[in-house]
Structure formats: structure tokens, C-alpha cells
Structure 1
């Protein structure tokens, strides 16, 4: 499969970096690829990122602490997850300078840890990239003392926002922080058990410190809204709770049980005044509140930016889940032979159109969402760096845009992964249901991503509210619609866009993502106009703003938010795949991936496209469907090589049916025979031998 271009490049000669996959049943499928897979890997990741990931993967594979084993108890799983997390810090993959200045390294490490075990990735991310990042970006110089302790894991952190009775409605949280000028301390207090911090990752048995969100009050009960505080909840030397803190574990979950989710109540816990994270506002020793923002919009934008980081990380981790599932299912499908022409050999199930259309759109989605999540993470880093420079105006706008994108992005990515993993499980038949092949654990571990950092349906309201707010300001004479990342700039031409119609003459004309891109722009404009009109109708009927927004969600605002985010993903991947620097051997495959994801996603909105008049006649829908089938057929022979680009090493993938050699049955048979006590007689065998059949049943027989 190697090309002349591969052999002539100094970078591509590094076989140690990108070793040839082992020969075996998958070799024939790899040989049919239309592109040089090494060249795509280098273009997609870059030499530096590939070397970094190889360093991480090699370290894990060669460390006995990371050796695979039988599923442990929840307590043991959390213990080994912490030990592995601590070992990751000992490897120093992310020195302080890299953690602060090289966001691509941060993202790469999260992807590596997610591929190995999502519980490990979540534990690490919550400590370093949520707790640590919150202190670094929302605090000031007086809080930098925590950073070395965080990087060395001398203290371990968590992010305590959600309460037992309040999750999505963060403004209504009830934990309080009253300032006492006599002692220059804040008093952190939970008024009752419903105000207990709940579902907090890392809090259950591990965290020593928490960033706690509470309602800040200065003397005379002056409220200043939600602020963040650094609160010590355990003694790092004993892991016993600090005085006044009740802390524990919420219990066994449906998945991600290596991550300890906990709860905490605070009983008049006093902390120093300096432990208020004071970038939004501060309190003087005498008790005077000092706001650091000129207006509420700036303060709100900074808050939204800070709260977006968890959603961006979930986007990255859930995309890794989908990447693993697709890698397993496609390698399986290329080697699993069933049926065939009469008198002929059985054919790989990937040759069947149904299998292609079940799996290849999710392969395309993996590439598109991976690219989008990485680009959004870089934008988040830009936001945080700008806040550190006190660039309030632009950063407030950027914070609102990232909040809208990450809210819908987390929803789209986690839902796509959940549906995709289930489809991959079913596409692998009964073998996919064996736990040893990992698809079940991927599905269960991904499930909470649909809820963590906000329920997906509730988060979509954040995105639609952002769009409706822009639309309302424009209609009130507020100037152009534009944003720092330019994801909404197309709305400025909404009137012209709504006059356009689908004008494609043949399915072949649909085979570029520009066709779906134009359709998506029309769709978002249409849904924005419909949502705005629906809201006004509700208001004219006498409903309050709250009631009107609530009555606009189904069929309107929810669809608007999803279509907007899909458009953003489609646009980013289209621009990436059509940029001039894409090497000629890679252009066709990347553009097919882009077109397939765009058309497959758009096809889910066919009813709306017809209802709004963009589609007319039966041929429009048929052409899109035909183009999807064509793209699947074109990508079928490239799919195994595309998986080789994105799949981690076999040790990390940890699935007998998904190994790179394609020895499907040999690997699965060996894994089954190596299972615990598979050939031993049942421990309860004597019950079978000695127990008589129940009397009533025996008489009936």
C-alpha cells in the first residue's frame, strides 16, 4: 500500500512512529485504500502530536499498573484509577509550561487517557483541567500557590457547582458564603441537605480541595450572586474530612465507576478571604465588594467561558468513545464473512450496503467531531488567555459564543456517540455483546456524558437563547450579526438566504459538502425565523417570557440549536478538507468524509426542508439519499485505512475483535479461553447433583 510519496518523505520513513500494521486478514482491505494512510496520519495529527501520543501509549503499555485485568469492585476500581492518575503525573507528560502554553498537548493527553479508560481521563481532567484551570483563570496572583501542588498531585481537586436540588438552574444554588470582616473570613454553609453539593466528580473519597460555587453575601446581607471559592474539604495527610465538612460517595453508577462522584455539606466552614477566586470581583478586608467588570454582560460572559471547559472536554472524550467503537466495528466488519452468492465464498459483511450505511456515517462523524472539538478547545484556550490579559470586551463576546457552541456541542457529540456505539455493538452481532470486546463498557461509560455538565435538552436551550438574542438585537437596530469565531456571521444575510432553494440536478452534484452547507444555512435561518415567530405568538397570547420560551422548545428551538451546531461542525470540516494545503493524495478521501457527514446529518432534517419549501418534489430527498449511498460505497474500501489513522494501539483499544491484525476468530477464541474459571466446574455443582426437583414440578412431569 506504500506509495512513492511515502517512500520519498523523511518524516514518513519513521517506521517506529507509524509502524506498518501486522499482516493478516485485514491486509487485503488495507491494500484497497485510495490514499497513503501514513501521510494522512501526519497531516491530521502532525509529527509532534503523533510522537507525544506514542510516548504516552508506550508508557502505559509498559507499566504493570496499567495491565488489563478482571473488572474490580467499585472501591478497588476507584483505588486503581487514582493510582494510575498519580502515575500519569509522575510521568510528567505535561510540564507546567506545556500545560499553560501548549493546548494541543493538553488535548492529546486527554484523548490518550480517554482511549485507555474514560474514568481515568475524567479523574485526571477534573483535577487538572477543571479544578486547576478554574483556579488559574478565575483567580489572581494570590492563588498561584496552588498550581505546583495541583501539578504534583499533593492536593487533589474537584469542581463543586451542582447541588442535590439544583443542577441546570445554577443561578438558584443555595450554598452561601457570608463574609465576616471581624476575622476576614468567608463562612461557607449548606442551609439544608437539598443544598448539598452533589454528583461532584473526584469528591467521593479522593478530593482534598474543591472549587465551591456559592452565593456571596457581604455585611448587611448584600447579595452579589454566585462566586467561586477554594475550600479544603479533607486533610491531605489523612484524607479525613475537615471540621464542619460532611463528605461522601453517591453510590454505584451505571458506568464510569472508576470515577468517584460525591456529595458534601458545609456547616459554617470558615475559609480565608483570599480563597475567593477574585477575577470577577473581590471583597476588601473591611467587607466592601469590588466588581472587576464594567457591566453585567461582561461578568456573565466570563462566567460562561469558565463553565464551558467541562463541556469541551466531554466533547473530546465522547468523540474518543465513538472513535474506539467505530474502529472495533469496522475491523470486525472487514473480516467477518457471512453469506454470499450461490456456490461462492462468503463475503465480508462490510461489502453489504446495509452494513456500510450503518457504520460509515459514524466514521465520518468521528472525523468531523474530532476536528471541531479540537478547534473549540483552542478557542477556549484563547478565551482563558484573553481573560488573563483583562481583555474584557472581546472575551465577553467570545465567552458567550463558546458557551453556545459547547452547550449544543456537548449534546450533539454525546448523543452521536451514544447512538453510534449502540449501532457498532449491534453491527458486531453476538460477538459485540461480549464484554471482552469492550463495546458494552464504551456505551455505559459514555451514557453519563449525555447528562454530566448539563442535561443535553436543557443545554440546547442555552444555544437557542443565544441565537434568539442575536436575532432580537438585529431586529431592534442593533447592527450586524457577527461573533469572534464567525459562527453566526451568515445570519446577517438571512433574508437573502431564505429566498434560496435546493437547485441540484443529480445525486453526483451532491457529492461535495458545499451543497449540504448551503442547505444548512437556509435551515438555520428558517428555524430561527420560525422560533422567533413562535415566541412572539406565545407572548401575544398573554404568556410570560418564561412560559413563551418553554412553549417554543419542541419542534422549534431544540431543532434550531441542533441544526446550528451541526452547521458549525459541517462548516469547520468543509473548510479543513478544502483548504489549499491538503496534499493531493488526501483530498478525495477527506472531502468524501466531509460530504458524507454533512449529507447524513442533513438527511435527518428532510421533513423541515420540505415544510419550509427548500426541498420540493420527491427527487430532492431521493438525490440526497442516493448521494449518501454513493459516498458510503466510495469510502468502503478506505474505511480500514481510515481506522488505522485514528485507532490507538491494540493494548489501548483492548478488543479482541478489533485488533489490527484482523485475526478475528483466533483473538476472540484466545480471549474467551483466558477468562476466569471458564473451564472449571461450577462452584455450586453440588446443588445440581444433590437437590431434588421441587415436588409440585416433579409430580407434573
Structure 2
């Protein structure tokens, strides 16, 4: 048979190797190639293939087995790899600014290989550069050019030792000196030192530093960002007045140098103030086009929302990798069976399906949400660059802030729980470091904290919804938003009067049933949270105390339910659109229904308490529908994994390879470990027998 023509779809998506997984692939109800092309498109697939092909052929990216590297060696290798990525120029500076989905794809590809590499690249080329692009003006863009040629290396310095989530309380100061036309950046004490800053530990030469701005004869103008040089690019030695270093070994991501910095009266030019939201004249007068200081503050921290949106995508990549490993393992691992002579794949067991397949559905649903929210974020940033101060732009910023805050929480938590379930579902083999599930778990863990603690972020989302309800009550304002995520609340009285409509398990196979339940749930929780706040205030609690006492069981649940509804709604709309090819409709709609019901199931007690469910049948129908959908997706599971799987070189897990040769790959990888058959270097100690009782303590 002639090889596929170069550039053809068959060349782009070659057949997967035959082997033990072939039986499941043959039973799939759809073509994995057709689904992958529908989800990604040829252009994006070629872009990703170009990245993976380059990395696999490059010796610098060769996977290694054996002794763990020291942190210093790992950081050196990670920097060299980051530098090589720039040399490949997968995305030009122009494309980085104008091709957002390719930017997202590049970060995800690098992260699938190693999140230390992706984080280093992202923090320099996007976080640092985007902060300058979005918060600065033309006079600052020279730094972006230098960043992309690696003449300088950047970081984003917001968090301090004593303040992270409460950005308003950041204590680093920037006092303007009109005589020299300079800002004086200063850390009043060690608690105000910048901390946890990625790239700052060893490599960053420049930082976007957030500080409280002061001009002569006026009160503090609030938090602003400045470009500050912290090291000499020629020597990597600290600049005068800057104490900078690495914070030490972490639980994961140790190829990334997280650092700290203190500033002692460090002078920078006036022009280094990133001045899109506010500026200082040479004489020392503060000027801004924003009359509302809160809006100015929120706009200046807009990059945090983009960071949270990126973290959602990062988390989804980790879930894809973990589910791929666990499902392929489960399809080839045979244990027990109907007779003593016949063992069956553990994927055939209902328990294994129930443990894994909802996370497979979650990978699809959250991935679609991540992509769509990323494009929403791009729209917001374009308005910012055009100096759009319309009401719609302000509302869009608030809505995306709410979605990205709860989205990061939902995605990172779902993935953290999912990776752990995948690890346990692979038994003892999943505990071997070579199979990568431990690394995925450790490297995903900081996503629950970076760019804001998840539980704190959920308060931002519930606050957004409660403010909307307050405006409705006080001013009669309609529930509506640019992305239409809250528009359904306009029908709250009608929705709250509804009851669970399903009369059979089969009815639940349509994700619209779970959607209706979610809308009722959000309306119910919004009403409950609002009533709790009123009760607290009526009892004499301050606004702060009232909100603090309304989080557990109410506002927190409200924020999560609202975000789950948004994910379910977007995936439902996507899988039910007319453009879905007919052969793919059934499997995509099963994924949609499974994710919706599985996400809804932890809220069953609330659905009963509020009266939406009644009688035991409603709860049983949801449970049985989840199990039936898992069973329906069992034969498609391997093909669904093939769609989201990455090349074996990137996946880097012997038990998750595409050929399904579970035991052969595992055994071969064990024997490849250095010194696996060698006698222990400390063997002479074994031959020295202890003198029993010689060290017995004397009473």
C-alpha cells in the first residue's frame, strides 16, 4: 500500500498502532479522526503537529529515565528548552498578538510536555509582555520586542509575602520625585517583598512590579504597575538596591524558578509607569480618564483574569493526559472475570466506568468552555486597547471576572480530583513515577492556588450575582449581561415554580433535563444567599460580617452551581448545534448528558430540600442515567481518548501508550532505569552486622 500523500489528512492523522486496544477501537460508534478534525480543524492540527514533531526530533527535549535531576540542573535545562522554543519561532510576535487560539494551543502543547517549560515561556512571553501591551502605551512596546528576542527576560510581580488575594493591600510603594522625574520603588519591610514570582528566582532581568503610587501633595493614588529592571542582562547580577533570589524547592514545577525581590529606594524613569489607566505629568500631577477609582483598579488588574482563563486551559490538559493514561490502562488491564479461566478488561466493570468516564466527559466539556472563554477574554482585551469605556465594556469585564474566578476553581478542583481517581484506578502501576500520574497531580496542585485561592475567588462570582440581584430589587434593573450567562435569571419566578420533568431514565439522556435543573438550582441558591445576607444585616452584622457568614452552604455553592451551569449550557449548545456531523451527534450528546448529570448529582440534597425533586424516583433516575450513559460510552471510551490523546513522546507514560502493550512497555521502562540491576552502592553496610543491645539506653 502506498504511503499517504504528504499534506493529506491521512498523513496528518496516521492510523494508530495495532495491538491490545484494537478490540475497543473496532467497537467505536464513530471515527476518531472525524471527531478530531471537527473539534480542532486542519490548520490547528498541523500547527500542533509541527510543535510536537520539532520537540521530538530535538535532543534537548529527549525524555530521560533514571536519577532525578537537582533543582538547579532542572532549572538550567528548562531555561535552555525555553530559549529553544523561541528559536523555533512557532509563533511570531504578530501572531502572538493576533492568533489567540494558537497562543493557547502553544501553551497547552508545551505544558503537556512539561508545565515547568510552559509556565516559564508563558510568564515571559505572555504574562510579562501582555501586561505591558494591555497596561502600557506605545512608549513601552520596545520591551515587548526585546522580550521576544530574549534580550531581556520578564516576570509579573504582584504577590507579596503578606498579601496575595488582597491586592489592594499591597505595600510596595512608588513615590514620584519631580526633581529627577523618577519613581522611587521601595519595600518598607520584608513582608512587602515580592514573593512567588515565576521567573524571578534566577532568570528574570525585568519585572512588571505593582506598587502603591504616591505623588507630592496628594493621597495615595492606588495600585499601579511599573517596569523595573532587577538584573543586568549581561551578568544576571542584581541591580543596585534590588535583593532578589529563589524561594526554594516546591511540591512540583521545580523547573520554574519562583523568586522574591525587595527594593531599597530603586529609581526608575517616569516613563516606566504603565500608564494606560493613569499617568503622572513631569511636574508630578496625577491624571486619569477613569472617574471611578474602583473601575480603574479592576482594569489595571485585568491581566489576572487572563491568567485565570489560561489556568483553566492548563488544568484541562492535565485531565486529558490523566484520563488518557487511565482509560487505555483500563482497556488492557485484565482482572477477574465470569469464570476462573477468563479475565476481562477492568473497563468492563461498572465501577471502573463510573470512576473514569465522567472525567472523560468533563475533559471534553471543560475544554470547550476553556476555548470559548478564552475568545471572550480576547474580546475584552481588544476593547481595552481601543480605550472602550462603554457600559457594555465595563459589564463584559465584570462578567468575565466572575466566570474566570469560578472557572479556575471548578476546573482546577475537578482536575485535581480526577487525576487522583485516575491514579487509584490504575492501581499500584499508577503509583510508579514513570507513569506520570504523580507528576500531573503535583503540577496541577498549584492551579488551585495561583492567581487566587479558589474559595476566595468563588466569593467574587457570588458577589457578581448578588450585586445583580440587588440592582434588580433596588432599581428594577434587568438581569442581562454581554455573554448572556445571567439572562435566564430574569425568569426566576417561573423557574422556581418548576419541578423535575423527567418521567423515565431515558428522559435524562438529554442534557436539557439537567440544564433545567441547574437553572432552578442557581435561582434557588441566589434567593437563599440573598435572604441569608439580609438576615445577617438585620441582626446587626456589618456588610463584611454578613458576607463572611453567608459563604458556607450558600454563596460558595451558588458560585460553583452558576459556573457548572455555564459549562453545561455552552457544551449543550455546542453538541446540539446544526453543524455537528450526523455520525458524531450521538457520542457528543452522550458526553454532554453525562457531564451535566454527573456535575448535578452532588447537588441532589439541595434539589430535594428546595422541592425541585420529590419522591425517591427522581434521585434514582439521575443515578441510573449516569450509569447507563457510562455503559453506552464504554465502547467509545478508547476512541474518545484517541481524540484527545497526545503523541506517546509527549504523554510519556508506559501504561498509556497508543499501542496498548501495557506490560511490555512497563517492563521495558523498568529495565531502562539506570542502575536498576546494580548492587546498592552502600552494600558494605549490609555486611556489617549490628551488635544487638550495644546502644541500649541505661535507665
TM-score category, normalised to shorter length: over 0.9
- Aligned 8 A contact 2:223 2:297 in 1: no
The secondary structure found in structure 2 opposite 1:204 is coil
Structure 1 residues 392 and 306: CA distance shift in structure 2, 3 A: farther
**How is 1:66-465 mapped onto 2 (pairs within 5 angstroms)?**
66-69=61-64, 70=66, 71-296=68-293, 298-393=295-390, 394-465=392-463
C-alpha separation in 1, matches of 2:381 and 2:689 = 69
Which position in structure 2 is the counterpart of 1:55?
50
C-alpha separation in 2, matches of 1:474 and 1:694 = 80
1:37 to 32, 57, 76: 32
C-alpha separation in 1, matches of 2:526 and 2:638 = 40
What is the deviation of 1:697?
Answer: 10
C-alpha separation in 2, matches of 1:304 and 1:539 = 30
Which position in structure 1 is the counterpart of 2:621?
623
The secondary structure found in structure 1 opposite 2:180 is coil
Which position in structure 2 is the counterpart of 1:3?
none
| CA deviation map 1:193-218 (0-9, x unaligned) | 01011111111001111111111111
Which position in structure 2 is the counterpart of 1:570?
568
Q: Is 1:556 equivalent to 2:554 in the alignment? A: yes
| CA deviation map 1:643-668 (0-9, x unaligned) | 11111100000000000000000000
1:26 to 21, 33, 45: 21
Which position in structure 2 is the counterpart of 1:6?
none
The secondary structure found in structure 2 opposite 1:521 is helix
Structure 1 moving runs of 4+ over 4 Å? 9-13
- Aligned 8 A contact 1:302 1:395 in 2: no
C-alpha separation in 2, matches of 1:148 and 1:256 = 27
Q: Is 1:524 equivalent to 2:522 in the alignment? A: yes
Which position in structure 2 is the counterpart of 1:4?
none
The secondary structure found in structure 2 opposite 1:76 is helix
What is the alpha-carbon root mean square deviation over aligned residues?
Answer: 1.5
Q: Is 1:471 equivalent to 2:469 in the alignment? A: yes
| CA deviation map 1:2-46 (0-9, x unaligned) | xxxxxxx99995222111000000111111100011110000011
- Aligned 8 A contact 1:304 1:400 in 2: no
- Aligned 8 A contact 1:279 1:292 in 2: no
C-alpha separation in 1, matches of 2:683 and 2:34 = 58
What is the deviation of 1:299?
Answer: 2.0
C-alpha separation in 1, matches of 2:655 and 2:417 = 20
**How is 1:495-506 mapped onto 2 (pairs within 5 angstroms)?**
495-506=493-504
What is the deviation of 1:304?
Answer: 4.7
C-alpha separation in 1, matches of 2:695 and 2:607 = 62
**How is 1:506-655 mapped onto 2 (pairs within 5 angstroms)?**
506-655=504-653
Which position in structure 1 is the counterpart of 2:12?
17
- Aligned 8 A contact 1:315 1:409 in 2: yes
- Aligned 8 A contact 1:325 1:421 in 2: yes
C-alpha separation in 1, matches of 2:11 and 2:304 = 40
- Aligned 8 A contact 2:127 2:303 in 1: no
C-alpha separation in 2, matches of 1:574 and 1:60 = 36
- Aligned 8 A contact 2:187 2:193 in 1: yes
Query: Greater CA deviation, 445-454 or 666-675?
Result: 445-454
What is the deviation of 1:395?
Answer: 2.1
What is the deviation of 1:297?
Answer: 5.0
The secondary structure found in structure 1 opposite 2:570 is helix
Which position in structure 1 is the counterpart of 2:677?
679
- Aligned 8 A contact 2:594 2:630 in 1: yes
- Aligned 8 A contact 1:12 1:38 in 2: no
2:478 to 477, 480, 487: 480
Structure 1 residues 217 and 658: CA distance shift in structure 2, 3 A: same
What is the deviation of 1:689?
Answer: 1.1
TM norm structure 1: 0.97
What is the deviation of 1:677?
Answer: 0.5
Query: Greater CA deviation, 377-386 or 359-368?
Result: 377-386
What is the deviation of 1:399?
Answer: 1.2
C-alpha separation in 1, matches of 2:465 and 2:309 = 19
C-alpha separation in 1, matches of 2:238 and 2:398 = 37
The secondary structure found in structure 2 opposite 1:453 is coil
The secondary structure found in structure 1 opposite 2:404 is helix
C-alpha separation in 1, matches of 2:193 and 2:42 = 47
| CA deviation map 1:367-401 (0-9, x unaligned) | 11111111111111111111111112222211111
C-alpha separation in 1, matches of 2:352 and 2:15 = 27
The secondary structure found in structure 1 opposite 2:226 is strand
C-alpha separation in 2, matches of 1:596 and 1:28 = 24
C-alpha separation in 2, matches of 1:666 and 1:501 = 54
C-alpha separation in 2, matches of 1:186 and 1:626 = 65
C-alpha separation in 2, matches of 1:288 and 1:305 = 25
| CA deviation map 1:205-260 (0-9, x unaligned) | 01111111111111124211101111111111111111110001111101111111
- Aligned 8 A contact 2:277 2:289 in 1: yes
| CA deviation map 1:301-330 (0-9, x unaligned) | 423532211111111111101110000000
The unaligned stretches of length 5 or more in structure 1 are 1-8
What is the deviation of 1:468?
Answer: 0.7
What is the deviation of 1:695?
Answer: 3.2
C-alpha separation in 2, matches of 1:630 and 1:118 = 36
The secondary structure found in structure 1 opposite 2:331 is helix
- Aligned 8 A contact 2:501 2:513 in 1: no
The secondary structure found in structure 2 opposite 1:121 is helix
C-alpha separation in 1, matches of 2:173 and 2:190 = 13
The secondary structure found in structure 2 opposite 1:340 is strand
The unaligned stretches of length 5 or more in structure 2 are none
- Aligned 8 A contact 1:299 1:396 in 2: no
C-alpha separation in 1, matches of 2:501 and 2:178 = 70
Which position in structure 2 is the counterpart of 1:657?
655
C-alpha separation in 2, matches of 1:571 and 1:694 = 70
What is the deviation of 1:344?
Answer: 4.0
C-alpha separation in 2, matches of 1:486 and 1:438 = 40
- Aligned 8 A contact 1:474 1:481 in 2: yes
Structure 1 residues 697 and 187: CA distance shift in structure 2, 3 A: closer
2:59 to 45, 64, 70: 64
C-alpha separation in 2, matches of 1:696 and 1:266 = 57
